[in-house]
């Protein structure tokens, strides 16, 4: 999966760099703990989403919050679901080494019909039927460095 601040989507996506959905924000704070002896990393993420439809989809189980985790040194590339608004995940020892890129996001886990978020930019007309796996919100990618 290749996602950046320039990726285009056929439906509105909440992101700090986009005006697809106005008057709403997503932000996430990422912290990690590293056990030096075992090379095990625990990732903690606290998120805030003040867009009511997206938050409602998460609470109803139609969408989930998590992070796309990418580690070049070990080859890990995964969407890691996390509890919302705060969650953690323990990675296997040695799974993450060197620079690790983490992008908080929200994606659908089942079909969402007639999606029309509050604050929708006028260029979007009508509502959207979105399938599972569609990205609804993105935050800036963050980088951590795990010791070797």
Per-residue pLDDT of 114-138, as tens digits, reads 999 999 999 999 999 999 999 999 9
Ramachandran quadrant class, 118 (left: phi over 0; alpha: psi -120 to 50; beta: rest): beta
Residue 37's pLDDT is 85
Distance CA 132, CA 109 (A): 5
Residue 5's pLDDT is 85
Assign 3-class secondary structure to 15-74.
CCCCCCECCCCEEEEEEEEEECCCCEEEEEEEEEECCHHHHHHHHCCCEEEEEEEEECCC
Residue 119's pLDDT is 96
Percent of the chain with pLDDT over 70: 99
The confidence band for 30, taking pLDDT boundaries of 50, 70 and 90, is very high
The confidence band for 39, taking pLDDT boundaries of 50, 70 and 90, is confident
Long-range (24+ apart) CB contacts under 8 A made by 121-129 are 121/12, 121/19, 121/20, 121/21, 121/22, 124/11, 124/12, 124/20, 128/11, 128/12
Residue 38's pLDDT is 83
Q: What is the pTM of this model?
A: 0.93
Per-residue pLDDT of 50-69, as tens digits, reads 999 999 999 999 999 999 99
Please answer whether residues 121 and 95 qualify as being in contact, where contact means their C-beta atoms are separated by less than 8 angstroms: no
CA distances from 36 to 31, 92, 105, 142 (A): 16, 13, 28, 21
The confidence band for 71, taking pLDDT boundaries of 50, 70 and 90, is very high
């Amino acid at each position: 999966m290749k996602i950046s601040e320039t990726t285009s989507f056929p439906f509105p996506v909440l992101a700090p760099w986009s005006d697809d959905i106005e008057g709403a924000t997503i932000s996430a704070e990422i912290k990690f703990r590293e056990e030096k002896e075992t090379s095990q990393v625990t990732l903690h993420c606290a998120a805030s989403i003040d867009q009511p439809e997206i938050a409602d989809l998460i609470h109803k189980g139609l969408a989930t919050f998590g992070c796309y985790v990418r580690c070049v040194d070990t080859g890990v590339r995964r969407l890691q679901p996390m509890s919302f608004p705060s969650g953690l995940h323990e990675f296997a020892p040695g799974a993450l080494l060197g620079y690790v890129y983490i992008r908080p996001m929200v994606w659908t886990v089942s079909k969402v019909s007639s999606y029309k978020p509050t604050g929708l930019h006028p260029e979007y007309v009508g509502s959207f039927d979105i399938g599972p796996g569609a990205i609804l919100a993105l935050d800036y990618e963050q980088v951590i460095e795990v010791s070797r």
